[in-house]
Structure 1
Amino acid sequence: MGSEQQIRARQAHIPGPTFLAYTPDGKKVITAGVNNFCRIFDIGSRDEPETIDDCQENNTAVVAGHGFFIVGAEDGTVCKYSLETNKLEQILVRTSLPVRDVALSPDGNWAAVASDEMVVKVVNTKDMTRVQYLRDQTRAAKHVSFDRSGSHLAVSCTDGNIYMYSLSAEEPNMMQKVDGVIKSLESDAEASSRVLWHPDGRTFATPTPGREIQVMSFGDFSRQRSFKTGHSRDITAAAWSPNGALLATASSDLTLSLWDTRTQMLLKKYDDLNATVLALEWHPKDNTLAYTNNEGELIIHPNIVPEEYLSLLKKPLQSAPYLTEAAKDTARAPLGAQLNLPERQHRRAGTPDTLDDILGSDAGSLGDEDGFVVDDDGAGYATGVNGHGKRPSNHLDTLRSPNKRRAYAPTFQPQIHEPFQPGSTPWRGNRRYLCLNLTGFVWTVSQEATHNTVTVEFYDRSLHRDFHFTDPFQYDKACLNNNGTLFSCQPTSDTPATLYYRPHESWTDSRSDWRTSLPAGESITAIALSDSYIVATTSTNYVRIYTLYGIPYRLYRQKSSPAVTCAAWRDYVLTIGNGPISGTGQCSLLYTLENVKRDEVLQSEDILALPPSASLSSVFFSQEGDPYIYDSTGVLLTLLHWRTPGQARWVPMLDTRLLPRLSSGGKQESYWAVAVAGRRFSCIILKGQDRYPYFPRPILSEFEFQIPISGAAPSKGGKRDRDPDAMDDDDEDAENEEEDNANSTNQLEHQLILTSTLHTQLQSTLAHVRPTTTQKQTLTELEVGIDRTLLQMLGAECLAGEDRGMKALEIVTLMRDANGKMLDLAAKVATRYGREVLRQKIEELSERRLVGLEAEGEE
């Protein structure tokens, strides 16, 4: 194996299965074996290792994070230890049967535990009460492996199948069952069936029954290239180098081999091992490989890669091997961009119909190249008066002299609203959401400075498949709908800002995704995606509008600046920017609404209604197509009459501070706006001081609209109203009495203004579109609902006493009843409560309306 001075086996534990883990910084190696202690070796030191004695016996797995490590044992305990104190911190989780493997997510927040139980447990390393359970396996699990994003987990089961899970939601989702690749092994077998995630995030590999390493695409789980290892016995351990350019494999035939990832060629074979290697890991930075065997030994092998192949290890992130370029495109970053491979010094040779040839040479260059009262004038007014008690004119010299500098008061700086992307969260650790809505969600994970990994998941997987890719462009914004996904990235020193659109489906044989670059120096402040158009607002205050397939459609400069955000729905685009300075020193926000298809501006530079010192948190169109905003005070507002120029107004539909769940005062929570659909506000509840949602993705909550008209929020009590047309005289009186008892005056008033607002909103919409049968029916139901609520309010006023007759008559005048049925019912209600004067007034009102209708008919 080389020089004994360089390579020395250190007896870490008594003979038996031994396992190891590097700390993320590569400064320490932790080992665990059959005896009841763990050892911590300092890299580069010949001193004796630190020994932690309070461990279990027969340890079967060890993983290390920043400042801690975790060990699993055959007695079913999974323990977390501190690297600062070298003491046991806590027992994270217990299993009833032996633990076989432990995996740690890249951010160190979650540990997956495989045991002889059929359930895999995923426990939070900071809060052991947070546990997820993976139950789809038919037998015990042998290995668990997190991908580079930490949002997917591969479970290698003893039944010979790989179970691929998504952990992005509260409840894990089994994405795919991969069969026919790994060997069915006993859980305590030395042979390995572990999934090895390639550093590029798009593929994974695993040992096969034929002693090969099979590479598979994570996008469609298709088989790609394989390594014909030539091992004469089962593979027991394998690992990719940190940049993915090399693969190390070890076998129970006592050999260790190094392979070139790109060519699958053998580079070096070490065939003089004295025991079977059970675990091996590459040093995060150095040309060193550490491994442990079944004799309790730790071997740290420096200069493992021979000098002639050392350049491979020094390259940046490399791509996994694919069978064809077409297969590579299926799993690659959605831009179709190549990774920054150093050996690619020439442009990609495109086919005659590539986007490069259509848009020009610059269109393909992004992916193919390597690589936040003073004395104003100093006049001394209190001194220097002359004999007449007046100030001489020499005090003006400081103003006249060009050689003397005047001292100015501090310059006033207005508070500008910073741009933001609706549905996006800031970085927290190494991950963030790029988009959250009712279609699905997009999030990204930072892989240091080289690239990100992006995942797109859908709520309805029967319509669209989730996808995951490596992102060398480091997208910072995304939009998602049922047609496609839109991404954007900011300019760098080498590349301009870029928009990329990926449709979910295509009726052509080739992929129909596209990208376009913005002029140099122009960055993207916000993007929006509708069923018809793509919108981008930029740092130069341009609004750029494209068709869904990349044709530039509109380009103009936004009047309000700097630009803040935008939203889109069908043919409508809403843009928001900073405007005049308000009395609080903040810039008022101005919005513009336009119909892109008709080239018609509906609302031009109107003021966005925000309270003093509040900021805009989100803006979006509802599922029905009405604009909504959500501000920092927790109020949801909609825009009425927005299709009529100069008539738009913002109406509050919900004040989350008045929700009944907060009335007790014991809860401290806020709400992250997601969408409005079906007259409900969809949001994510944030506990305590949290301002943004985090992982795993929390579930969506829904709240009904509650227009804030009083301090008490309306309850949900009361029975459903009957159709007044179906009532006879006795039934309608009984029904009114029952509803009067069930609903308070506040509830009725709230119901009235909410129904009236929804009616106005829908009526305004139908005045500008061709109404459907469903929309007409809904409008009629809202009109009946208004009159029905007024009828209930009339009953409550009649019950309150004779002195409320004036208000009772006013209620009747508000009824929209066109055929007189509701007025007849109102007269009967007055009769029931003995209000004869009121009844007479109602009948007079009914007669006047009837005369008015007849007069209109004659005209």
Structure 2
Amino acid sequence: MATRLRGRPAHAPGPTFLAYTPNGRKLITVGLNGALRVFQHGSDDEPAVIDVVTDNHTAIAATNDFFVVGAEDGSVTKYSLLTNSMEQILVRCSLPVRDIALSRDGEWAAVASDELEVKVVNTRDMTRVMYLREQARPVKHVSFDVSGTMIAASCTDGIVYLYSLSSEQPQLVKRVDGLIKTLETDAEASAKVAWHPDGRAFAAPTATRDMQVVARSDWQRQKAFSGGHGADISAAAWSPNGALLATAGIDKTLCLWETRSQRMLKSFDDVQDAILAINWHPTDNVLSYTNNNGELFIREDFVPGDHAKHLKIALQPAPMNSDPLAEVSGNARKQVSDGAKSNGHRRNEDDYLDDLLGPDAMSEDGAGFIEDDDGAGYAEDLNRFGKRSAGAVNGRPPKRQTPHSIWQPQMHEAFQPGSTPWKGGRRYLCLNLTGFVWTVTQETHHTVTVEFYDRQEHRDFHFTDPYKYDKACLNEKGTLFSCRPSSQTQQRSVLYYRPHETWTARTDWRTQLPAGEEVTSMSLSESCIVATTTAGYIRIYSLFGVPLKVYRQKSTPAVTCASWRDYVMTVGNGPVGGDGMTRLLYTIENVKRDEICQSEDILALPQGVELRSAFFSEKGDPCIYDTDGVLLILLHWRTPGQARWVPLLDTKTLDRLASGKKEESYWPVAVANDRFHCIILKGGEEYPYFPRPLLSDFEFRIPVSATSAEEEEDKEATHQRSLEEQYVRSSLQHSLVQDLVDNTNATSAQKGEVPLMEREVDKVLLQLLATECREGEERGMKALEIATLMRDRTGKMLEAAGKIAVRFQRDILGDKIMQFAERRMVGLVDEDEL
């Protein structure tokens, strides 16, 4: 199919810029006039127009839900893509804005202007602003890396400044000098850094009109894309999988390059004006660009047919010296020594050849292109490259190995609640309502930082960590760390506890585990420290380092643990289910009283769903959060054999996801104040990001029933479903409080919660009763059943129920309610009957 060039006069003649949303559904353009245009991808309809009071727009960046625009008046404004209207002004600069970049999760916007400093503002809370101030002249371009933890600032002094966002204040990591050209902020030529999608490197335009690749690991120059332009480069962009690069020059040239060989695939000679911005469509073979004449061009089938297969292959590595197909994050493959397939892993060269040559070029047995169609046997004994083995050539029959496999169950890996994996040389060791602990690798050592939300109560601290701690716990009393053993330094696994306050000279303590033993998970409560180890032991210490207990866990290997005061919950691998996965078993015990509450009970997880986190609520009830986004709490857990997991919230049913336009998940933090506290993860993110994310909280909503489309339009039916959910939820909360009072030395305040919760349950039942009475006499039997569920034994609530029936002229119902009330008062109603 021939390339079809579509030019659209989007704005008044002058500099024009564009941005695709990450999902590729919309394309937004800005220019000199006071109108912003939102194009629907694949549609020939006229774009949506957002009229604004500003003009001379100079920069734009977009997410799926909103976009941010900068202007010459120094304003940076956020617009909603859901309503096509302005939301707020994020930040103001005293001089013209030159460039805007959004982090991948859309949480932070970096703003470059003619001011000396770069502002990095939070898109949800504009009061949170960070500043990049190491450069001596204004910055022309800013670029976030793939992880959103590093910013490249292309300064007009010809230096690229690399900042790390791993702390509250950005830290300058590197100055790359001699790479980009010295430019004015309003120049058509570009000095913008384009990070490769694999995250290992970036490319930048040079004074010699090339695109030079620079490695992130050592900031050294690697391969270069040369010879394509006769004037300065004005725009560049990697394809979504990093296999291709598009560049444009102010000499009205547009070039398409292959990343692996740095070979120019095609040069387009139909460009009429200098291109200022280039964007690839995230999924389709479409490239869009804007120029200096207010025009938008959408090139369909931009990559020619012979090379279009480059867009369909997996993420490709950045072009490095002596590293043609290095393994990269998100595209790593295990190398197999004999070059053949093993356990589903293949070499990168095999994937590259298959993607370029097609699936029929080489079949699974390696000889798909040779067929023994005449039965002569010449295709036998061929290796995966279509050649005979050495034994076959010498006349010896090849030795055939009998295929066999040993079945092994799939075990649940151990994890530390609140901990994240390494990302960009940093990771969170702990995240909860008290604060957070994070660490940064410095090759020979780590740097650990502990920060608190309540800084009036506790002071933040950080320290150099030669032990390289990989796990941490944090509460109001102290911080607990552990590290892995090291064969190089002969270091054993260490537990380290540091209290926040002490009235003695000795403030902290360490203890070493026996040789070869490693901590797999640990927890910290107000009274004890718990650690599960690779030896199958559960080790319990006091807060002052006194070993209290050591015993072997029944369900091994251990998965995780949690604690609250004297209660400890441990989770481990149990028997194998029908799907080949081990079933998780949990045990809850009281360390102080040395009694088991629940012993090796099954953790309630559906097939294919895994445990994401385990913790105790603020009131001391065990909670779990699974990979399906469901939060569950354990009911009746203090009574052996009576425990059951009850869903408190299914995050997939949240109202914010009802439209289907948001793609987000939730990182569990805590259950407190009858709410689920979490961190919202945008897009495909699986773990919290840097800088420190904001905490969000949601009300509990037990998934009692789904609301049909007809019921959504019926407000009365929707109200009734809400009341039914409130009844189930308040009954659950009443049971939790009742269990606490019945099984512990409860305080007077805790005992006082029981009648309050009973009253809340009965209030909801009264509202449900009124709803049934409003529907008519035919709902009388259900209304009577609702009345019998009331828990008040004084008769006041039943009396109120009778009055409600009378008010709606349900005389028969009112008589039956009063009869039931009289029977209950004289003790004729059996408790089991209720």
Q: TM-score by structure 1 length?
A: 0.52
Structure number with greater Rg is: 1
> Residues 92 and 679 from structure 1, CA distance in 2 versus in 1: closer, same or farther, beyond 3 angstroms?
closer
Gap regions ≥5 residues in structure 2: 1-93, 102-108, 121-129, 152-160, 173-217, 219-399
Q: Does 1:811 align with 2:807?
A: no
Task: Give the corresponding residue for 1:580.
Answer: 575
> Residues 836 and 767 from structure 1, CA distance in 2 versus in 1: closer, same or farther, beyond 3 angstroms?
same
Task: Give the corresponding residue for 1:655.
Answer: 650
In the TM superposition, residue 851 of structure 1 has moved relative to its aligned partner by 1.3
> Residues 437 and 101 from structure 1, CA distance in 2 versus in 1: closer, same or farther, beyond 3 angstroms?
closer
1:113 to 113, 133, 139: 133
Task: Give the corresponding residue for 2:502.
Answer: 506
> Residues 127 and 430 from structure 1, CA distance in 2 versus in 1: closer, same or farther, beyond 3 angstroms?
closer
Q: Does 1:783 align with 2:758?
A: yes
Alignment of 1:525-564 (within 5 A): 525-564=520-559
In the TM superposition, residue 78 of structure 1 has moved relative to its aligned partner by 8.6
**Rounded Cα–Cα distance in structure 2 between residues aligned with 1:501 and 1:128:** 32
Q: Does 1:476 align with 2:470?
A: yes
Q: Is the 8 A contact 1:591 1:605 kept in 2?
A: yes
In the TM superposition, residue 153 of structure 1 has moved relative to its aligned partner by 3.7
Q: Is the 8 A contact 2:469 2:483 kept in 1?
A: yes
Q: Does 1:850 align with 2:825?
A: yes
Question: Secondary structure of the equivalent of 1:810?
Answer: helix
What amino acid is the match of 1:480? L
**Rounded Cα–Cα distance in structure 2 between residues aligned with 1:840 and 1:671:** 50
**Rounded Cα–Cα distance in structure 1 between residues aligned with 2:775 and 2:119:** 70
Q: Is the 8 A contact 2:426 2:438 kept in 1?
A: yes
In the TM superposition, residue 777 of structure 1 has moved relative to its aligned partner by 2.8
Task: Give the corresponding residue for 2:430.
Answer: 435
Q: Does 1:496 align with 2:492?
A: yes
In the TM superposition, residue 129 of structure 1 has moved relative to its aligned partner by 12
In the TM superposition, residue 742 of structure 1 has moved relative to its aligned partner by 10
Question: Secondary structure of the equivalent of 1:636?
Answer: strand
**Alpha-carbon deviations, 1:794-842, whole Å to 9, x = none?**
1111111211111111111111121111111111111112212111211
What amino acid is the match of 2:440? V
Question: After TM superposition, what 4+ stretches of structure 1 lie above 4 angstroms from structure 2?
Answer: 74-81, 100-103, 114-117, 119-124, 126-132, 145-150, 405-409, 740-743, 853-856
Alignment of 1:583-732 (within 5 A): 583-712=578-707
Count of residues in Structure 1 that have an aligned counterpart in Structure 2: 483
Q: Is the 8 A contact 1:498 1:516 kept in 2?
A: yes
> Residues 632 and 94 from structure 1, CA distance in 2 versus in 1: closer, same or farther, beyond 3 angstroms?
closer
CA RMSD between the two structures? 3.9
Q: Does 1:458 align with 2:478?
A: no
> Residues 855 and 558 from structure 1, CA distance in 2 versus in 1: closer, same or farther, beyond 3 angstroms?
closer
In the TM superposition, residue 768 of structure 1 has moved relative to its aligned partner by 1.4
Q: Is the 8 A contact 2:99 2:140 kept in 1?
A: no
Task: Give the corresponding residue for 1:834.
Answer: 809
**Rounded Cα–Cα distance in structure 1 between residues aligned with 2:746 and 2:466:** 47
Question: Secondary structure of the equivalent of 1:540?
Answer: coil
1:759 to 731, 734, 744: 734
Quote the sequence identity (%). 56
What amino acid is the match of 1:522? E
**Rounded Cα–Cα distance in structure 2 between residues aligned with 1:821 and 1:697:** 51
What amino acid is the match of 1:472? P
In the TM superposition, residue 507 of structure 1 has moved relative to its aligned partner by 0.6
What amino acid is the match of 1:453? T
Question: Secondary structure of the equivalent of 2:806?
Answer: helix
Alignment of 1:319-334 (within 5 A): none
> Residues 489 and 563 from structure 1, CA distance in 2 versus in 1: closer, same or farther, beyond 3 angstroms?
same
**Rounded Cα–Cα distance in structure 2 between residues aligned with 1:147 and 1:517:** 38
Q: Is the 8 A contact 1:92 1:128 kept in 2?
A: no
1:822 to 782, 797, 804: 797
In the TM superposition, residue 792 of structure 1 has moved relative to its aligned partner by 1.0
Q: Is the 8 A contact 2:636 2:736 kept in 1?
A: yes
**Rounded Cα–Cα distance in structure 1 between residues aligned with 2:529 and 2:670:** 19
What amino acid is the match of 2:167? S
**Rounded Cα–Cα distance in structure 1 between residues aligned with 2:454 and 2:659:** 36
Task: Give the corresponding residue for 1:306.
Answer: none
> Residues 418 and 431 from structure 1, CA distance in 2 versus in 1: closer, same or farther, beyond 3 angstroms?
same
**Alpha-carbon deviations, 1:566-601, whole Å to 9, x = none?**
001100110000000111111000000000011111
Q: Is the 8 A contact 1:681 1:705 kept in 2?
A: yes
Question: Secondary structure of the equivalent of 1:797?
Answer: helix
Q: Is the 8 A contact 1:441 1:480 kept in 2?
A: yes
Task: Give the corresponding residue for 2:274.
Answer: none
In the TM superposition, residue 847 of structure 1 has moved relative to its aligned partner by 1.3
> Residues 424 and 122 from structure 1, CA distance in 2 versus in 1: closer, same or farther, beyond 3 angstroms?
farther
Q: Is the 8 A contact 2:421 2:428 kept in 1?
A: yes
Question: Secondary structure of the equivalent of 1:843?
Answer: helix
What amino acid is the match of 2:696? S
2:167 to 148, 151, 166: 151
**Alpha-carbon deviations, 1:390-414, whole Å to 9, x = none?**
xxxxxxxxxxxxxxx9968532211
In the TM superposition, residue 128 of structure 1 has moved relative to its aligned partner by 14
Question: Secondary structure of the equivalent of 2:725?
Answer: helix
**Rounded Cα–Cα distance in structure 1 between residues aligned with 2:96 and 2:779:** 74
What amino acid is the match of 2:420? T
Question: Secondary structure of the equivalent of 1:476?
Answer: strand
> Residues 594 and 147 from structure 1, CA distance in 2 versus in 1: closer, same or farther, beyond 3 angstroms?
farther
> Residues 429 and 602 from structure 1, CA distance in 2 versus in 1: closer, same or farther, beyond 3 angstroms?
same
What amino acid is the match of 1:455? T
What amino acid is the match of 2:549? R
What amino acid is the match of 2:723? L
> Residues 492 and 78 from structure 1, CA distance in 2 versus in 1: closer, same or farther, beyond 3 angstroms?
farther
In the TM superposition, residue 94 of structure 1 has moved relative to its aligned partner by 3.8
Question: Secondary structure of the equivalent of 1:767?
Answer: helix
Question: Secondary structure of the equivalent of 2:469?
Answer: coil
Q: TM-score by structure 2 length?
A: 0.54
**Rounded Cα–Cα distance in structure 2 between residues aligned with 1:150 and 1:668:** 25
> Residues 505 and 424 from structure 1, CA distance in 2 versus in 1: closer, same or farther, beyond 3 angstroms?
same
**Rounded Cα–Cα distance in structure 1 between residues aligned with 2:521 and 2:795:** 52
Q: Is the 8 A contact 2:676 2:698 kept in 1?
A: yes
**Rounded Cα–Cα distance in structure 2 between residues aligned with 1:101 and 1:754:** 49
> Residues 827 and 516 from structure 1, CA distance in 2 versus in 1: closer, same or farther, beyond 3 angstroms?
same
**Rounded Cα–Cα distance in structure 1 between residues aligned with 2:630 and 2:143:** 34
1:523 to 518, 522, 525: 518
1:424 to 416, 419, 428: 419
In the TM superposition, residue 563 of structure 1 has moved relative to its aligned partner by 0.5
What amino acid is the match of 2:793? A
Question: Secondary structure of the equivalent of 1:744?
Answer: helix
**Rounded Cα–Cα distance in structure 2 between residues aligned with 1:130 and 1:491:** 29
Gap regions ≥5 residues in structure 1: 1-73, 82-90, 104-109, 133-144, 157-241, 243-404, 718-739
**Rounded Cα–Cα distance in structure 2 between residues aligned with 1:523 and 1:472:** 17
In the TM superposition, residue 151 of structure 1 has moved relative to its aligned partner by 1.3
Q: Is the 8 A contact 2:165 2:690 kept in 1?
A: no
**Alpha-carbon deviations, 1:292-347, whole Å to 9, x = none?**
xxxxxxxxxxxxxxxxxxxxxxxxxxxxxxxxxxxxxxxxxxxxxxxxxxxxxxxx
Q: Is the 8 A contact 1:654 1:707 kept in 2?
A: yes
In the TM superposition, residue 770 of structure 1 has moved relative to its aligned partner by 2.4
**Rounded Cα–Cα distance in structure 2 between residues aligned with 1:521 and 1:128:** 35
In the TM superposition, residue 669 of structure 1 has moved relative to its aligned partner by 0.5
Q: Is the 8 A contact 2:150 2:164 kept in 1?
A: no
**Rounded Cα–Cα distance in structure 1 between residues aligned with 2:171 and 2:557:** 49
Task: Give the corresponding residue for 2:747.
Answer: 772
Q: Does 1:569 align with 2:564?
A: yes
**Alpha-carbon deviations, 1:467-521, whole Å to 9, x = none?**
111111111000000100000000111111000000001111x232000000001
